[in-house]
Amino acid sequence: MDAIARINPLKLGALLFVGLVIASSWLVMPYFVQGQQMLRNVGDDSRLIKAGNVAQYLTRRLIYTQDLEITATLASDEYFQYVDRATIVGNLRPDRNLIFFVAETIHRGDLPSTVPTVTLRVGEEIYYPTISDGPSLVEHHRVSVFSFSKRDENGELIDFDAAGRLRLYLSNPYLGSPREMTFVGSWDTPYALPEELKSRADITPVAMLALGAGLLSSVLTPCLLQLVVVFGGVIAGFTTVPGQTTGDARALTPVIRRKILQIAVAFVLGFTLLYALAGALIGAVGHQAQLLFSEYSRVVAVVSGVIVILLGLWVGFRGTREFACRIPDRAAMHSLSNRDLAGTLLASMGYALGCTACFGGAIVATLIVYVGAIGSATIGAGIMLTFAIGVAIPFLLSAYYISRVDSILTFLARNSKPLSYASMAIIVTFGLILVTDNFHTVSDMIYPYLGLS
């Protein structure tokens, strides 16, 4: 009698459950580590000091008296990179506009009821803001934002650097004046931060480890919950040997044992590379990555979902093939293994790409706000690589455990076709989740049962 006939279904279920628990052991981080608190604590003091220095360097005093104070800050790319203003980047679009923040403080009487009138002079040209936004009917303090397009009325890029200087003119009837009072702030162009303000010496290896752990324990938990299920589907689909097994199924277990470890390494390599590349991109382009994710996240999610769906269908088609009876054919097995490894790598990267698109804003905000990893692809990649390794280790341990349990190997050997179809259903389902933008819906359904929020 074949070994599978003597397997107790309850025993098999218990063994598989242990493998699932091992693959999900990264969940100790969300349960026992306060991720958001960890993120806030990492380099917080140095970040705030640097942010203050950057803001001070880009700020000009238009007037400073005992009665009236007005400052204007040129919110350049560096400003958004180093100062905690990541949440408004998507609205102001500093890649397309020149942004100024104006702060007014009055110590005698009240501020005028309307925001100041502002113009920008570049050389001899005068430009008017496309956005003038600030509170009205204030008493003593007001902060307003003014946005100027970086293109002229003909759609041509304005050459700010050639002008040599930017001058911001601000007018309002202050201190009860019957006429408007005008003040000017100027910035030399081209402008650049001093090297000492660009230093990232505060981002130590220990800080990178802590930030990676913070991402793992808070920001990307919903993504990883679903990645575990996809991992299970890939193991079930790609490690089997398609076809009807004749004779003792245990003859196939050495082949399946080797394939499990190969497939697990390929799967882990796929999402690790993808997350490291995403971190490098965010670190290299800074806050502009937030603009990229806001514009293209749906397109990326749909494309990655389609890739995952196609690979799921391939798993189902693969299950209809007859390879089990041709095990001695080394060339056929080698070809099958190569296709399985390539499919696993693409499935892992595809789903991780969709996950990154769905949570790109959160990742970018974390790296910008808590890290200041702007202009450094190495730092961005290092933090995301640390996070990915924290997930990869449980996955590899789970695969090793499965590869050592003969009951599971025999089950995989004897149930190639149904497991292929089940794997196809799982992978296609999660591909559809990406395409239909229901990523968070699934996580919201799972979270209450895990006691997470």
pLDDT digits (tens, 9 = 90+) for 302-334: 898 899 999 989 888 887 766 555 554 566 666
Residue of 232 and 50 predicted with greater confidence: 232
Q: Which one-letter DSSP state was computed for residue 348?
A: H
- Do 216 and 391 meet the contact criterion of CB atoms below 8 Å apart? yes
Q: Which residue ranges make up each domain of the chain?
A: 3-42+202-450, 57-194
Place of tokens 């005008």: 182
Q: Distance from CA of residue 417 to its chain's centroid?
A: 36
CB atoms within 10 A of CB 229: 19
The band of 128, judged by pLDDT with boundaries at 50, 70 and 90, is: very high
Phi, psi at 59, each rounded to 5°: -105, 140
Which residues are paired to 172 by β-bridges? 181
What span, in angstroms and rounded, lies between the C-alpha atoms of 92 and 423? 45
Write the pLDDT tens digit of every residue in 49-78: 666 777 888 899 999 999 999 999 998 877
| Global model pTM greater than 0.75 | no
Residue of 362 and 239 predicted with greater confidence: 239
The band of 161, judged by pLDDT with boundaries at 50, 70 and 90, is: confident
Confidence (pLDDT) at 369: 57
Give which of 146, 339, 326 is closest to 237, Cα–Cα: 339
What span, in angstroms and rounded, lies between the C-alpha atoms of 78 and 54? 8
List, in order, residues 6 or more apart from 73 with CB less than 8 Å away.
Answer: 55, 58, 59, 60, 79, 100, 101, 102, 103
**HSE (side-chain half, CA atoms, 13 Å) at 108:** 8
Confidence (pLDDT) at 1: 41
The band of 250, judged by pLDDT with boundaries at 50, 70 and 90, is: low
In percent, the amount of the chain with pLDDT more than 70 equals 76
Confidence (pLDDT) at 362: 64
Check pLDDT > 60 for residue 445.
yes
- Record the tokens describing residue 156, joined without a space: 């041509």
In percent, the amount of the chain with pLDDT more than 90 equals 25
- Do 357 and 292 meet the contact criterion of CB atoms below 8 Å apart? no
CA dihedral (218, 220, 223, 225) positive or negative: negative
What span, in angstroms and rounded, lies between the C-alpha atoms of 329 and 251? 14
Confidence (pLDDT) at 265: 94
What span, in angstroms and rounded, lies between the C-alpha atoms of 115 and 134? 6
Q: Which one-letter DSSP state was computed for residue 76?
A: -
Check pLDDT > 80 for residue 24.
yes
Give which of 303, 218, 237, 266 is closest to 40, Cα–Cα: 218
What span, in angstroms and rounded, lies between the C-alpha atoms of 113 and 196? 41
Write the pLDDT tens digit of every residue in 385-438: 888 888 899 999 999 999 998 888 888 888 888 888 999 999 999 889 888 888
- Do 187 and 74 meet the contact criterion of CB atoms below 8 Å apart? yes
The CATH number corresponding to 57-194 among 2.60.40.3340, 3.90.76.10, 2.60.120.330, 2.40.110.10 equals 2.60.40.3340
Give which of 253, 291, 286 is closest to 91, Cα–Cα: 291
Q: Which one-letter DSSP state was computed for residue 114?
A: S
Phi, psi at 139, each rounded to 5°: -105, -65
The band of 373, judged by pLDDT with boundaries at 50, 70 and 90, is: very low
Confidence (pLDDT) at 186: 93
What span, in angstroms and rounded, lies between the C-alpha atoms of 73 and 215? 32
Residues of the chain by 3-state class (helix, strand, coil), percent to 5 = 65, 15, 25
